[in-house]
A and B are shown apart, each in its own frame.
Chain A
Amino acid sequence: DAKTTQPTSMDCAEGRAANLPCNHSTISGNEYVYWYRQIHSQGPQYIIHGLKNNETNEMASLIITEDRKSSTLILPHATLRDTAVYYCIVSSAGNMLTFGGGTRLMVKP
């Protein structure tokens, strides 16, 4: 599976949009982009995934560039409860997830 690069940490003001970038320049055609987050010591929580089109669900939006070499996870109105480590993962069908270091998002009041 392709590797991903994410900033180590980010801050966001409560109520504002949080935009978390991810680079995956070696992504191959059959690999999806997944986003998970981990709040404190809880298990990783699925957020969203996509192949090449932008995706939106009740939690977030995923914007994937046309060349698929990078993506951005958008939390439209961040709350304090969104403080977590966010993992961007590239994976092909049925495979294990390879977690990198993730981005530690701190939402501040």
Chain B
Amino acid sequence: GAGVSQSPRYKVTKRGQDVALRCDPISGHVSLYWYRQALGQGPEFLTYFNYEAQQDKSGLPNDRFSAERPEGSISTLTIQRTEQRDSAMYRCASSLGAGKRTQYFGPGTRLLVL
């Protein structure tokens, strides 16, 4: 079946602009996770949802970052007033939840802030 999808795959923006990154989880998956990955490093947790409820946002680096999942399916990660240090690969993962812990990752969105 279809895996986790993310869009856009690549995003180039100018410093100061807002960007919205989209994640479409595997159908039926309750939990959705956002990670950020710098070049040469492992993914770093940002936030996660169970259904539409944001359970943990401790990994969001500052208040320019926010995420929502209003209907418990698709999620959007928004970065306001982007800065060059926000450039990274942003990855989304989903899991069945309810004790089914395995997370399945999408292809990521590569963000470049000029």
Residues of A within 8 A of B (CB): 32, 34, 38, 41-46, 49, 85, 87, 91, 93-94, 96-102
Residues from chain A with Cβ under 8 Å of B108 in the complex: 41, 43
Task: For the complex formed, measure the closest distance between the CB of A106 and the CB atoms of chain B, giving whole angstroms.
Answer: 16
| Beta-carbon contact of A93 and B45 below 8 Å | no
Task: For the complex formed, measure the closest distance between the CB of B98 and the CB atoms of chain A, giving whole angstroms.
Answer: 8
Q: Which of A38, A87, A96 contacts B48 (CB 8 A)?
A: A96
Given contacts A93-B99, A94-B31, A94-B50, contact A99 B105 (CB under 8 A): no
Given contacts A41-B89, A101-B42, contact A96 B56 (CB under 8 A): yes
The A interface, classified by DSSP as helix, strand, loop or mixed, is loop
Q: Give the distance in Å from the alpha carbon of A93 to the alpha carbon of B108 in the complex.
A: 24
B78 touches A (CB below 8 Å): no
Q: Which of B4, B43, B56, B99 contacts A97 (CB 8 A)?
A: B43
Q: Give the distance in Å from the alpha carbon of A98 to the alpha carbon of B59 in the complex.
A: 11
Given contacts A32-B101, A96-B56, contact A42 B107 (CB under 8 A): yes
25 CB < 8 A contacts A-B: A32-B101, A34-B101, A34-B102, A41-B89, A41-B108, A43-B4, A43-B91, A43-B107, A43-B108, A46-B102, A46-B103, A49-B102, A94-B31, A94-B55, A96-B33, A96-B35, A96-B56, A96-B59, A97-B35, A98-B45, A99-B42, A99-B43, A99-B44, A100-B42, A101-B41
| Beta-carbon contact of A43 and B106 below 8 Å | yes
CB within 8 Å of A: which B36-71 residues = 41-45, 48, 50, 55-56, 59
Q: Give the distance in Å from the alpha carbon of A38 to the alpha carbon of B4 in the complex.
A: 16
Given contacts A96-B33, A96-B56, A101-B42, contact A44 B101 (CB under 8 A): no
Given contacts A41-B89, A43-B105, A46-B104, contact A96 B45 (CB under 8 A): yes
Q: Give the distance in Å from the alpha carbon of A32 to the alpha carbon of B44 in the complex.
A: 19
Residues from chain B with Cβ under 8 Å of A96 in the complex: 33, 35, 45, 48, 56, 59
